[in-house]
Structure formats: structure tokens, C-alpha cells
Amino acid sequence: MKEVRKISQVLESKSTIEGAGVRLKRVFGYQEVPLLDPFLLLDDFSSNNSDDYIAGFPWHPHRGIETVTYMIHGEVEHGDSIGNSGVISGGDIQWMTAGSGIIHQEMPQRGDGTLSGFQLWVNLPGKQKMRNPRYQDIQKEKIPELALDDGTKIRIICGEVEGIQGPVQDIVAEPEYLDIAIPPGEIFSHEVKKGHNAFAYVFQGEGYFDSQKDQLIAPGRLVIFGDGDRVEIRSDKTSLRFLLVSGKPIGEPVAWYGPIVMNIEDELKTAFEEYRNGTFIKSV
């Protein structure tokens, strides 16, 4: 019989300021390393007030990680040092592998005043940290949405559900990234690879995230699951919407400062020296 994962911890997101003055909710970050290995950080940048986000994230470097931007509503314009540019809109995903180094900017657009989305950072193992940078820009039309008989809807960004594969491919951490909406009073059960770390982040409604049903999880809270073969999630009196993410742990040391994550401090020192002297970008 498949073992249902139990809740290991519940964390509440915390307000913080990043970039040039963007007000957002930090779901998890530096303080949680290595609790969610290979995942390093999750930010929720949702707001109905454009003053909270319009300053954006001007030009800054990344090395040694992947950044995953998933838009729910609104638009973010992006550009980078190797010639990529475009706009990420509601429903789109951008999976950027910084690898050996990239300098980019992400600038939210004012639009109708509402911006909603998430940025996830995924670590790279040491042997992949200096790989060539890569973008996977996926428009919403290319992200499959599975509708179950009970009305549950699953957007499959990465991974596989009922034989349907998400469009983001060839990621080292073997991640699964799902956006799930469950109608009131329904149960969602899903297999997650044993040994992979898994979490759920609630952003609409309330629900129960293990079979014991003794803890109601509200929006803005992160559920960290213990090990097991599957998750079992039940919505409460309203529809429940959440991100469900899992991945294979790397199990390596983490040296992290700002936007750069390496294995040891000397590698961090080298990265920032190269950024200062103009040799940071290795591939064009």
C-alpha cells in the first residue's frame, strides 16, 4: 500500500523587500537551507497595488542556479546579457538556467494594477553550475491542463500526471511543478517519488494536506511534506488552489550570497570578482 506523506512543517510567508523596492512575500529562503533541497527560495509577488512592484528587478547577475518565474496575472518584461528578451504574461512560465552566469532584469508592467505570480529558485549540482545558460519560455497555451471528473484542474508545468507530460524538460533536479485547483469538499491524491522533497504553497482557499485532517492550511502558508509515496489533499468549504512542487535532493554544500549560489566560499568570491571585472559571462 502506498504511504501517504504527512505534514513535516508548516511555514508562514513573511513580508520583505527585494530588487529596487518590490514588496513581496518570502515563502522560504536562506534560513530554510537545506530543508527543501534542491529548492532554495520561493517568493510570492502578488499585489493589487502597482506601487508594491513597479520598481522591479533591474540588471543583476545569477550563477549556479535556475530561476523559475510563473505568472498568474499581469505582465513582466525581461531581458538579459546574451540577447534574450520578451514578456511573461498570466499563465506563462519562464525556467531560466543561469549556469555559468547571466545578467538580466525583470520589470513588472503596471497594467490593470494587479500582478500575481511566483519565483522559485532551484539549485544546480556542482558539476552543472558552470554549464551554458538556457531559457525555457513557455506560453500558457502550451501548458497542459488536466480536468478530473470531480472538477479538479491541474496545470502541468513540469512532471507528469496521468500520462500527460509538462512542457518544461531536461531539468537536473527531476522536478514536478503543478498548479492545482480543487473544488469545495473534494480530495486530490497524487503520487510523488519516494525520497524526493516535496512542498505545497496555498494561495487561494483552505485545505487539509495529509490524511489526518487535523490542520487547516490557509493562504500564504507553506506545507513541507515528510517522505512517502503520495500526497492526499482535501479542500474545505471553498475552492483550494496551491502549487505542488517536488524534486530530487542534491545533497551538496551550499555557499550562497545574494543572487549567486555555489558550493564553496572561494567559488562565490571568484564569481563576484568576475562580475566586477567584466568576465562574468562565459557564453554568448
Kindly report, residue by residue over 196-250, the tens digit of the pLDDT. 999 999 999 999 998 877 899 999 999 999 999 999 999 999 999 999 999 999 9
**What integer is the mean pLDDT of 151-156?**
98
279 Cβ contact list (under 8 Å, min separation 6): none
For the chain, helix (H) and strand (E) counts, in that order, are: 1, 26
Q: Is the pLDDT of residue 182 over 70?
A: yes
Burial class (CB in 10 A: 0-12, 13-18, 19+), 227: middle
- Residue 171's pLDDT band, with cuts at 50, 70 and 90, is very high
**CA nearest 159: which of 95, 251, 254, 208?**
95
Peptide bond into 108 cis (omega under 30): no
pLDDT score at 282: 85
The answer to whether 232 and 224 are in contact (CB under 8 A) is: no
Residue 82: the pLDDT is 82
pLDDT value of residue 257: 97
- The number of angstroms, rounded, from the C-alpha of 262 to the middle of its chain's C-alpha atoms is 19
Q: Which residues pair with 24 in a beta bridge?
A: 16
Mean pLDDT of the chain: 96
- What mean pLDDT is predicted for residues 9-14? 97
179: nearest Cα among 265, 116, 87, 248:
116
- How much of the chain exceeds pLDDT 70, in percent? 99
Q: What is the greatest pairwise CA distance in the chain?
A: 58
Residue 284: per-residue pLDDT: 55
Query: pLDDT-based confidence at 83, cuts 50/70/90?
Result: confident
Spatial distance between the Cα atoms of 33 and 114, rounded to a whole number of angstroms: 31
CATH superfamily, region 7-277: Jelly Rolls (2.60.120.10)
Q: Are 160 and 169 spatial neighbours (Cβ–Cβ below 8 Å)?
A: no
* Residues 41-56: tens digit of each pLDDT: 999 999 999 999 999 9
pLDDT of residue 118: 98
Residues 91, 155: Cα–Cα separation, whole Å:
9
pLDDT at 81 over 90: no
**How many angstroms separate the CA atoms of 83 and 251, rounded?**
34
What is the pLDDT, as a whole number, of residue 283? Answer: 66
Q: Could you give the strand order of the β-sheet that contains 145-147, starting from the edge strand earlier in sequence?
A: 7-12, 221-225, 197-204, 240-247, 176-182, 153-158, 145-147
Q: Indicate the residue type of 150.
A: D
Model pTM score: 0.97
